[in-house]
Amino acid sequence: MIVDLKKPAMVVGIYAIVLMFAWPVFAQQSSPPQGDSAQAQKWAILELDTQPAKVQVYYQNKLQGLTPLRLKVRAGQFHLNLYKPKYIIKVLRGRVQAGERKRISIKMVKDIEIPRQFFFKYAPKFVSSRKKAFQLFQKVLVYISYFHVSKPKETQLILGAVRTMCDILNKVKQRQALLKRELSEQDRKTFYFEDISLADYPLLQWKEKVVGPKHIFTLTLPQKTLKVRLDTSSLSSCLLGFYRIYEFIQDHYDTKDKITENSLMYAAFVGMLEVLGEPHTRLIPPKALKEMDVEVEGQFGGLGIVISQQNGILTVITPIDGTPAMRKGILEGDRIIEIEGKSTKNMTLLQAVSRLRGKPGTKVTITIQRGLAKKRITLTRALIKIKYIKTTILPGKIGLIRISSFMGKTLLAQLKEALIRLKKQGIRGLILDLRNNPGGLLDNAYKVCNLFLSSGLVVYTKGRISLYNEEFKADPKSVPKFLKIPLVVLINQGSASASEIVAGALRDRKRAILIGEKSFGKGSVQRVFPLQEFQSAIAITVARYYLPSHQCIDKVGIRPHFEIKHPLLVKLKIRAQSIYKKNPEKINDLHLKKALEVLRSKLHTRKLPESSDSSKFLVKPKGK
């Protein structure tokens, strides 16, 4: 998360940070189970084809590859699991004869996406009464409509809130029916054990009819019907209609688990925010405000990873440098599916953070999933102070600096100290490693660039109101400066927001060569507005940032000069070892190897690759 401390919490980051101890890398089963030696020689071939393609295929708990796939299996019974994000897991069981070649075509079924924030019993505690709920709704509505960069209409935000309140309960029931149709009871318990029974939830039938500016909603429950008209030409009409629908569901939708003011209002907020079409405008409950302060201070009582929500699943973005999570091999993409036996699916990010963090010395048990393999581990929480900078010197007097986050207030001082120390040791080139750096303070990103640029534009922001139009230029008078040393910056898909500002600015100013993978693509700026009466806040996207080339990389990403992708096994190997304690050239880090090659070459020529047109290094969205 990036926060500009010069103003009330200006943020352009994306992730929550949790510190945790790690578990060892998932064991890779390299051989089939042992059995009768004669039987072991009998095999069959399965030719698998799926719609869509590129589905992960697991046989004997090991990832075999992506479809279309030709797979060798033992004769007799076989059991395959097929997995693709946003689709229902497919379980294939069958029998083949020795020497048989069998072709199987599978159509994957798309999952029903449910807003991850909506779960009655996990709803954040915002309000204590219906009156307070309506007051909070109106205040959030005003803030978003006035400050959000997209200039949303208040009436459209209200319509979004109404639709989600009406639709969410039925989506949950529909998904339950879908899982029941596609999977056996045992398979549902294995892969979707977190899904709760909604057998007692009545079906809320609703429809929306549009006649000019009027939206007529009809809601029907077994014993009650409500018909409400929302006129989008009148804000008061839409607000009144919202209140009537809210009260109807609250008062008449009977279940054994009473729908609370907080849970229903949170569903309304989810619908309102979905209208904006971007995930970074969000409500910040009371507990989360405290977490933000903790993140800026850089000290945590908890575990050791950066986490995010992806498709409703708690997902590891990156382990934090210097923690057991990094040393033991946790990878970006690993999923935390249980915390203390409770599923994390549809658990909000902040709820997960609050369960993972705790008093140092206490324990927490989690279940991790990579692909379809699972591992359960008990971890001991600890007080971990983040060191944002790691350094080492590579052969040939090449300095290597890893920046894990731009969040901490002490980052710049740590970086200056590291640079001065490396310079005294006589380094001739420098590698700045920003891989898996999720962002941090906007001010920190600017100041890091300022160390390597003598003058000129670093980044600028543009919002719908002039307050959020700013330019950040390198200060020629600030010291120290590191202008002459050849520089390479490493990035990958986990490099976001502040990392992209640094990488993009140094690239556009032809100060550095970028190596690695295309970056995340987070180019928006948020400001946090306090809601003091509710001990909460709301982060609103108020601007977008632009690189010196006048490019906004939001939802686009930055492509490096040299794009190199690491295979999964190479990532595992790199994660399991520390490049700051062992000779990096003995680790198959392809990005680092290329960086050393480029720097050693440039030390002779002192010339960066020609690239006057920086737009060719931008990754364009699919379909555009």
Query: What CA–CA distance (Å, rounded) separates 13 from 586?
Result: 34
Query: What CA–CA distance (Å, rounded) separates 272 from 261?
Result: 16
Q: Choosing from 508, 518, 536, 554, which is the catalytic residue? A: 508
Query: What CA–CA distance (Å, rounded) separates 3 from 442?
Result: 5
Query: What CA–CA distance (Å, rounded) separates 145 from 281?
Result: 12
Q: Are 566 and 590 in contact (CB under 8 A)?
A: yes
Q: Choosing from 308, 405, 497, 499, which is the catalytic residue? A: 497
The DSSP secondary-structure symbol of 137 reads H
Known active-site residue 524: no
Query: What CA–CA distance (Å, rounded) separates 480 from 460?
Result: 23
> Peptide bond preceding 480: is omega within 30 degrees of 0, i.e. cis?
yes
Q: Please, where are the H alpha helices in 282-333?
A: 286-297, 324-328
Query: What CA–CA distance (Å, rounded) separates 333 from 339?
Result: 17
Task: Give rounded-to-5 percent helix, strand, coil for the chain.
Answer: 30, 30, 40
* 97: exposed, middle or buried (Cβ count in 10 Å: 0-12, 13-18, 19+): exposed
Q: Choosing from 84, 447, 522, 594, which is the catalytic residue? A: 522
Known active-site residue 404: no
Residue 176: its H or E element? helix 154-182
* Of 61, 62, 57, 68, nearest in space to 92 by CA: 57
Reading across the β-sheet that carries 487-491, which strands appear in turn? 389-394, 398-403, 429-433, 487-491, 513-516, 562-563
* Alpha-carbon separation of residue 528 from 147, 150, 285, 287 (angstroms): 11, 17, 12, 15
Known active-site residue 31: no
Q: Would you state the torsion angle of the CA atoms of residues 485, 523, 498, 322, taken in this order, to the nearest 10 degrees?
A: -120
Catalytic positions, written as ranges: 497, 508, 522
